Structure formats: structure tokens, C-alpha cells
Amino acid sequence: MNNKYTRYVAAPYLIWSVGFIIIPLCLVLYYAFTNADGAFTIDNVADIISYVNIKALLLSIAFSLASTLLCLLIAYPLAVVLSSVISTNSSILSLLFILPMWMNSLLRTYAWQNILERKGVINGFLTALNLPPLYIINKPPAILLGMVYDFLPFMILPVYNSVSRIDKDLINAARDLGAGYRDIFFRVIWPLSLPGVISGITMVFVPSLTTFVISDILGGGKILLIGNVIEQLFTQDSDWNAGAGLSAVLMIFIVISMVITSKYDKEDIR
Amino acid sequence: MQDKLIDLQHITKSYGSSTILDDLNLYIRENEFVTLLGPSGCGKTTTLRIIGGFENPDSGSVIFQGKDITSLSPNKREVNTVFQKYALFPHMTIAENIAFGLKIHKKSTSYINDKIKYALKLVNMEGFGDRMPDSLSGGQQQRIAIARAIVNEPKVLLLDEPLGALDLKLRQDMQYELIRLKNELGITFVYVTHDQEEALTMSDTIVVMNQGYIQQIGTPTDIYNEPQNTFVADFIGDSNILEGIMIRDKLVEILGAKFDCVDTGFGDNNPVDVVIRPEDIDLIEPEKGTIEGIVTDVIFKGVHYEMCVMARGFEFVVHSTDSFSVDSRVGIHVDPFDIQIMHKPESDDEKAVEIYE
Amino acid sequence: MKKTLGHIYLTLVLIFLYAPIATLMILSFNSSKSRARFGGFTLAWYQSLFENEEVMNAFRTTIILAFLSAFIATVLGTAACTGMVAMRKRSRNIIMGITNIPMLNADIVTGVSLMLLFIAARATMGFTTVLFAHITFNIPYVILSVMPRYRELNASVYEAALDLGAKPLYAFFKVVLPDLMSAIVSGFVMSFTMSLDDFIITHFTQGPGFDTLSTKIYSEIKKGINPEMYALSTLMFLTILILLFLVNYKPWSKQSVGEIKIRTRKEIVVGSGRRGAV
């Protein structure tokens, strides 16, 4: 296989990746820094500080931070439960957490409308239990719920993988050396699962930050996230330059999260 | 009794339908090197884990210095374990690994640093404090695992097949290291292995286990020279195990021939098992032997020759420094004190014989 | 006690994850066209589904698109891996770095970047542009699935084949390829699934008159989704469920296709990132 011509077999992909990955990204930057006439400008990028855009961006950051945190808070205990308490067939069980992804994600998000709406499933339950109804549809909590719902599996998987990979004997060794539950968690389990947690965080953070679908479906079109702004610039206003400018800003966040991920990945294999 | 440091009383443990330990009784004295020896699945590791607190027995109790610690969690026991695959914390340096137990117990920094230094020196690993575990070889990791356990000054060190993952040469070196450590520290070692050579080399006392029962407890010499049943005889070293009939005290009939022996108390005309170690068989001129056989196979083993001798339908394994050629006729002679007589097992379970000398 | 709490927690999370799916399945049997109330059980949507040209068209497009893009991505990706194995470490790392971009980048950025490319190239948006886009985001799945297997591959097997007189190409197809097959299949299935479910990138690269199931659902959300869509999704979900069940209960294929089930796109990134850095 070390024939000197063998490496040219990769040429089609190389051409493809330059044409469909590198050039498009350069185009985003090109459009971001030019105006409609093709002259250089930083207006498109600077436009992020306009009232509407900065509001959308900050809102997006707030949403994505909240959804990342919630996902972590839900997924971590789940990973611990899956890898310790449940002894039987955890591979089948973890499959259960992935399976929902095989139903169209737009439809699944849309179904939450049904569950959350004024006379929906949840309020039916609440009324039956004589509890006050919950009106969160088309409000921020609904969007947050949609994000947590859509991206939770992205957190569960890496966290579960890193927690379940911890050698049981390490925990036994810690107990043997006198550690109680608190010490075992903070000195052994948590640091060893950190790589998984970090990948989980970036995997939830980036799509939460950039989504426009969830806010569309569950926000009733009234709440604009940065993703919605970009989507409208491209598909409705056909203002490529402005859209590319905001996309370039988003890419900064994505690059930061990529750098963090790769840093922790390297530490993991030290 | 003051003497008993750990006393396991009527321990029973099963997983699902399979019983791992059945009414096990065993005590361990202070400053003793005890080895639990047996094939895999014999319950030796489970016994160790029950002492360490990682498993709870279904019934029975664990007494430590006169106190019942059966349900005490591992972090509160004065024993420390060296795990089979070392179980060093991969995210901590060697020094942090060793300091782990001390930090939990809130020792002062200077105390901890002294201890780390002392422990690294004890296991001949000075200067490795800042390395990460996965940069060390298996043997080195093993030493660190031992260092990490002993800095906590446990009364008992539990070792679960600690040398299993090492290659032969390293294993032999570590055996001497362990004996030295034990003598220097003056604490009790409970050692689990399936390797009879390890057990014979290091132990003060060997506990041979099979299928959840203790087969024999004794010094290495006792176990080797006077196995109490065919399992022990077969498991420890090579042996020829034959069926015989005890004609009367000090006389046994094997393969139709009468052999003098030194055992008494087996009754008259009772069926028994007979063990003869390969090196205890003397091959002499055909006419002078008790029985006659034909050499069927000879292999040179370095120190000795290993020969197979077919005699009256039984194939003896013989170790000798003299060699006989294949097909030559030989006489078989065994000195009376080299013949070991054993009771036949009463059941398939080979019920444990509980004798502690 | 701890066990009970664990089970309760597990159940709660599962309810959270499956509530929307159950809702959609129930709606697919709802005789009332309004999703607000359950008007009684009916199979009507399952019957009319097959007569609804628009939905069936979108379904066909989705399947053809997923199959074609996964197939082309698999061929290109496998070839890329074969070439990369013969390269020096540095050039290989650079290519792997590029491969990681679409996996880690936000879909919206990938989508608009491809849209800008097609605009710049003055291409007509439609099936072809979407196909190109899907191939682009599918290839990384294939590479990240096949590459690790290539690394584990025993080079001496190939050399043994040559030693026994095989020509290089023959040895590749007879010895190397069969060994990679499970990884290739897994890459294909993963690509297929990703293409099937993609909305965002399709959204930016599609043209008028072109619809996949996802884009059709998106455009229907505002005016209310046709219950036939619920019926179709239910059928598709159940099909996957049955397939997974069959695969999981056949010991011989456990290693190959069985692996796919618990890996998602991002999971692959994590796994491969780690392996890649070694």
C-alpha cells in the first residue's frame, strides 16, 4: 500500500474539500468584508453592534449558555446512573437515548408545540391535578426547552462515554485509600470525565448558539436569535454581505470552542 | 485469641445461582505473609475483596482486631489494597497518587512530602514523583501502587495478583522485593495468586482454595510435601496421583504391588489416594525395583530429565538427573517417606479440610 | 434506595425524550385534522399518505438524495483514506484537519458558505446543489469511520498477499477492502442517516420547487402540518426500530452495523479527535 502512486487516490477528495469546504469559507469572509459593489468594508461585521443584532447575539449566548448548563445538569447524573446503578445491558439502554434522533428533528421539536400549548398535554395534566396551568409556548422557556430537548443526546453520549470508561478499580482504589463519596466524585470521577464534559459542552453550545429552527418553531417567530437574523438576511432579504458579516462573527465563537475541544482532547491522550 | 488479626467466620457469598464462597472460615495472624492460592474462579479474589470491603458477604462476619467490620465501608478500614491492574489515577502525577490517601486524611504538607519521599525510596523509585502513571512500565506502576497503599500505614496490605501482568523475569525480581518490603514494614500481607511458584516462594502460610472451599492451609513445605488431597497435590507442582489400598498402617498397595510408607491412621484395607512427586521416584535396575516399567519418553529440561515410565498400565512422570533411553526397562523404587497417602474425597465438592497448624 | 432513585431518574429523562415521539404517533392516528384535540382513532392518514403526491415526492427525493450522497461520499471518503495512509504524517494531519471543519462548524455557517459558493458559481439551486452539499457534509463521517480501521489494519496481511504473488490492486480488493468493509458500511449508514435528517444545510442550498421531507415540514409548520406527515414519520421511525432490532439480535453483524446505532455525528468527532491525535 506504500506504492508511491497510492496517495493520489486521495486527490478527488482533496479537490472536493478545497472546492466545497475551504473556498466556501473564504467566500463567507470575502462577502463579509466587501459591500454589494465588491469594495472592502468592515460595516457588515461591525453591524453586529447594531441594536437588533447585538440583542439577538446576546440573547443567543444567554440561551446557549443556559441550554448547555441544563444539558450538563441532566446528562451528568444520567451518565452516572447508566454506568453504575444500572448493571444490565447498558448498551441497549444507551441506545434508547439515541433512538429519538431517528425521527425527523423538526417534527419532534414541533410536537412540543402540542405538548406545551394552552390546552396541550401538560396543561391537561396540571388541570387534572388542580395545579395552575403553564403558559410557556412562544416564550423564552419554550425555546430553552426545545434546545435542551434537541441537543441533550449530544451531551449524554460523550459524558456517558467518559464516565463509563472510568475503571471501576480506580473508584475502588479511592475508597480503599479512604475517600468518601464527595472525595471520590471531585478527586476522581469529575476530573477523569472532564474531556467528555468539554466535548459535550461544545457540542451543545455551538448548535444552541446558531439555531434558527427552534426559535422559529417554539418562539412563535417573535423571538429573534442571531441564527434567525442570519437566516432572514440570506433567504428573505438576499443581503449576502450583511449575512456573511454576521456569520463571520459567529465563526469566531465556533473557532474558540474548537480550540478548547482540541486542547482537552490532547490532554486526554497525553 | 490475641493472635488473630483478621478472622473470617462462616463467610458465604454467591452471585445469582453460583456460589463463590461456601461457609468459609479463615484467620490471619499479625505480621504474616498469607497467600490465597487457587485456580481462577476458586473464590480467592472474592475473599480478598470481602476483607477489603468491596464486597459484602451474604452471611458470616469479618472480624478485625476483635471488632466486627463486616459492613464497614472500605474507606474506613485499616487495610489497603494493591489492585491487579495497579489502578493508578491517570490524571495525577506519581507524587499526587501517593499523596491521595494522606490528603483525604488531612495530613500536613510536610508530612505528606516526607511520606512520598520515604515511599518512593522504599520501592526504589526515587525521582519519579513528577512523572505521570502512563509513562511508567508495568513493573514501575506496580511499585507505585504498593507505595500508594503503604504510606497510609495499613495494618494489612491486600495484593490481588499484583504480578500477573508482568513478564517472568520482572515477576521473579518483584517476588524478592515483596519479601523485603514485608520484612521492612512488619505488616501483614494477604496475597492472591494462581501461581504456585509465587506462593511457595513468598508465603509464610498458603491457603489453597478450590470452588469456594479451602482445601488446605499450611506452610509452603507442608503444602508441597504433604498435600491433603488430590486437588492440592495436583495443583502444587507435578505429581503422580494413583489409587491405592491401605493394607494396614505403613503399608499401601499400589498397582498391585506393596509399598512401605510412613502414614498411619487410615484403617485397614481402605481405598486411598496416593501422591508421589516426580523427583521422588528412583529409577533403578529392573529386578531391584518394587515394580517394573518401560521408559516411553525422555525430555531434557536443563536441570533434570523428565521421563515417562509406563508401569502396569500407569504412566509415571519421573524427574531425574540420570537419563534412561526410550524403551529401556527400569525398576521403580520410592522411599517410604516420599509416599503421601490421602483420604479419598467424600463428595465431588471435595469438602474443605479445616486444619490450621 | 439508590437504585430506585436511579431508575426513576432514568425514566423521567426517557419520558422527556419520547414524549414528542409519542405525541406524533398519536397524532398520526387522529381522525380530527386539527392537532388540538383527539377526534378518534383512524388509519385514514396512512391510506391517503400514498396518494399525496407532494409528500411522496418529497419522500422519494429525500431517499434518493440520502442514498446518492451517502454512496458518493463513501466512495470518495474510502479512496481518500487509502491515499492518506500512504502519505506522510504531516500532510495526513492537514487533510484530517480540513475534514473536521464541517463536523465542528455550525450547520448554518456550512449552509450559507455553500449557498455563497453556488451563487458565485451561478449554479441553479436544486437537486444537484443539495446533492453536492450533502456529499460535502457526509464525507467526514465516512473518513472518520474508515480511517481508524485503516490504522488498525495489519499491514503484513497486504504484504503477505503480495508475497504470495498477488498484484497490488488484486491484493487491495481481495485482502484490504474486506477488512475495511464493516467500517465502510458504518460510514455509509451514518452518512445516509445524517442526510435523511438534515434540514439547515438543505434549506440554504435548495431551490424553488425542490423539497425534502425536512424542508417540506419546515414550510408547513406555519400553516399547520399535514397529518400524513406524522404517518410517514411514524412509519419511518418504526422501520428504523425494526431494522435496529434485527441487527442487534444477529450476533454475526453486531460488530459492523450494530456499532452505528450508538454513534452520532458529534460522537464520532470526539472519538476520532482522540484517536487522530495519537
| Amino acid, single-letter form, for residue B36 | L
Decide: residue C253, CB within 10 A, 0-12 exposed, 13-18 middle, 19+ buried: middle
Kindly indicate the confidence band of residue A89, based on its pLDDT and cuts at 50, 70 and 90. Answer: low
Classify B82 as helix, strand or coil. Answer: strand
Residue C185, Cα to own-chain centre: how many angstroms?
A: 12
Report the distance separating Cα C177 and Cα C75, nearest Å: 12
Percent composition of chain B: helix, strand, coil (DSSP 3-state, to 5): 30, 35, 35
Using the beta-carbon criterion (under 8 Å), do C108 and A250 form an inter-chain contact?
yes
Residues of A in contact with C172 (CB under 8 A): 1
Which grid coordinates are listed for C11? 425514566
Least confident residue range of C89-98, C194-203, C241-250: C241-250
Kindly indicate the confidence band of residue C257, based on its pLDDT and cuts at 50, 70 and 90. Answer: very low
The set of chains that have 3 or more CB pairs under 8 A with B is A
Contact of A177 with chain B, judged by CB distance below 8 Å, is answered with yes
- Maximum C-alpha span of chain B: 78
> Which residues are B59's β-sheet partners?
B12
Q: Which DSSP string corresponds to C54-90?
A: HHHHHHHHHHHHHHHHHHHHHHHHHHHHHHHHTS-HH
Residues of C in contact with A157 (CB under 8 A): 262, 264, 266-267
* Residues ≥6 apart with Cβ < 8 Å to B13: B19, B20, B21, B43, B46, B50, B55, B57, B58
Residues of C in contact with A263 (CB under 8 A): none
Using the beta-carbon criterion (under 8 Å), do A24 and C27 form an inter-chain contact?
no
H/E segment holding residue C128: helix C127-152
DSSP B160: E
CB-based contact A251:A28 (threshold 8 Å): yes
Ordered alpha helix ranges (H), chain B: 44-52, 94-104, 109-122, 138-150, 168-185, 196-202, 220-225, 230-235
The CB density around residue B76, as the number of other CB atoms within 10 Å, is: 11
CB-based contact B158:B190 (threshold 8 Å): yes
Nearest partner of A207 among A227, A224, A233, judged by Cα? A227
CB-based contact B70:B62 (threshold 8 Å): yes
User: Sign of the C-alpha dihedral, residues C14, C16, C21, C22?
Assistant: positive
Is pLDDT at C4 greater than 60 in this prediction?
A: yes
pLDDT in tens, B61-100: 999 998 999 989 899 999 999 998 889 999 999 999 999 9
Which grid coordinates are listed for C63? 431517499
Residues of A in contact with C223 (CB under 8 A): none
Sheet with B156-160, side-by-side order of all strands: B79-82, B156-160, B188-193, B33-37, B205-210, B213-218
Is pLDDT at C38 greater than 90 in this prediction?
A: no
Classify B213 as helix, strand or coil. Answer: strand
Is pLDDT at A20 greater than 80 in this prediction?
A: yes
* Residues ≥6 apart with Cβ < 8 Å to A78: A97, A156, A160, C9, C10, C13
CB-based contact A116:A126 (threshold 8 Å): no
CB-based contact B22:B42 (threshold 8 Å): no
pLDDT in tens, C195-207: 998 999 999 999 8
H/E segment holding residue A228: helix A226-235
Q: What is the CA radius of gyration of chain A?
A: 23
Report the distance separating Cα B120 and Cα B112, nearest Å: 12
- How much is the average pLDDT of A183-198? 92
Classify B310 as helix, strand or coil. Answer: strand
Nearest partner of C240 among B36, A101, B181, judged by Cα? A101
Looking at chain C, how many residues does it have? 278
Report the residue of chain A nearest B82, measured CA to CA.
A173
Classify C50 as helix, strand or coil. Answer: coil
Average pLDDT, chain A: 87
DSSP B269: S
The set of chains that have 3 or more CB pairs under 8 A with C is A
* Residues ≥6 apart with Cβ < 8 Å to B243: B254, B271, B272, B273, B274
The whole-angstrom distance between A167's CA and the closest CA on chain B is: 8
Task: Note the pLDDT of residue C240.
Answer: 84
Torsion of CA C266, C271, C276, C278, to 10 degrees: 150
Task: Note the pLDDT of residue A265.
Answer: 59
Using the beta-carbon criterion (under 8 Å), do A180 and B75 form an inter-chain contact?
yes
The CB density around residue B119, as the number of other CB atoms within 10 Å, is: 25
CB-based contact B155:B187 (threshold 8 Å): yes
Q: Which of A176, A189, A190 to mutate to test the interface with B (most CBs of B within 10 A)?
A: A176
Task: Note the pLDDT of residue A90.
Answer: 58
The whole-angstrom distance between C40's CA and the closest CA on chain A is: 16
CB-based contact A152:A74 (threshold 8 Å): yes
Q: Which residue has the higher pLDDT, C264 or C180?
A: C180
Nearest partner of A180 among B72, C191, C158, judged by Cα? B72
Q: Give whole-number Cα distances, B115 to A175, B119, B225, in Å.
A: 20, 6, 43
Task: Note the pLDDT of residue B228.
Answer: 86
Taking phi over 0 as left and psi of -120 to 50 as alpha, with beta for the rest, A135 belongs to beta
User: Sign of the C-alpha dihedral, residues A134, A136, A141, A146?
Assistant: positive
β-strands B340-343, B270-276 pairing? antiparallel
Report the distance separating Cα A169 and Cα A91, nearest Å: 21
Report the distance separating Cα A227 and Cα C112, nearest Å: 11
pLDDT in tens, C140-186: 999 988 998 888 887 778 888 888 888 888 888 888 888 899 889 98
Nearest partner of C187 among C278, C95, C267, C257, judged by Cα? C257
Q: Give whole-number Cα distances, C102 to A203, A235, A266, C194, in Å.
A: 13, 21, 20, 13
> Which residues are B80's β-sheet partners?
B157
Q: Which DSSP string corresponds to A9-65?
A: GGHHHHHHHIIIIIHHHHHHHHHHTB-TTS-B-SHHHHGGGSHHHHHHHHHHHHHHH
Is pLDDT at A155 greater than 60 in this prediction?
A: yes
CB-based contact A253:A58 (threshold 8 Å): no
Backbone angles phi, psi at B205, to 5 degrees: -135, 135
The CB density around residue C98, as the number of other CB atoms within 10 Å, is: 16
Task: Tell me, yes or no, whether chains C and A touch by having 3 or more C-beta pairs under 8 A.
Answer: yes
> Which residues are B344's β-sheet partners?
none
Q: Which of A13, A161, A185 to mutate to test the interface with C (most CBs of C within 10 A)?
A: A13
Nearest partner of C49 among C195, C230, C183, C272, judged by Cα? C230
H/E segment holding residue B274: strand B270-276
Percent of chain B's residues with pLDDT above 70: 96
Residues of C in contact with A246 (CB under 8 A): none
Report the residue of chain C nearest A159, measured CA to CA.
C267
Is pLDDT at C217 greater than 80 in this prediction?
A: yes
Report the residue of chain C nearest A261, measured CA to CA.
C270
The whole-angstrom distance between A174's CA and the closest CA on chain C is: 20
The shortest CB-CB distance from B87 to any of A169, A179, A187 is to: A169
Task: Note the pLDDT of residue C255.
Answer: 42
pLDDT in tens, B246-275: 998 999 999 989 999 998 888 888 899 899
pTM, full prediction: 0.81
CB-based contact A74:A149 (threshold 8 Å): no
Residue C127, Cα to own-chain centre: how many angstroms?
A: 18
| Amino acid, single-letter form, for residue B299 | I
Is pLDDT at C37 greater than 80 in this prediction?
A: no
Percent of chain A's residues with pLDDT above 90: 51
The whole-angstrom distance between A22's CA and the closest CA on chain C is: 8
Report the distance separating Cα A110 and Cα A130, nearest Å: 27
Backbone angles phi, psi at B244, to 5 degrees: -145, 175
Residues of chain B with pLDDT under 70: 1-2, 346-357
Which grid coordinates are listed for A225? 436569535
Max avg pLDDT among A191-205, B43-57, C60-74: C60-74
Which grid coordinates are listed for B294? 518401560
The set of chains that have 3 or more CB pairs under 8 A with A is B, C
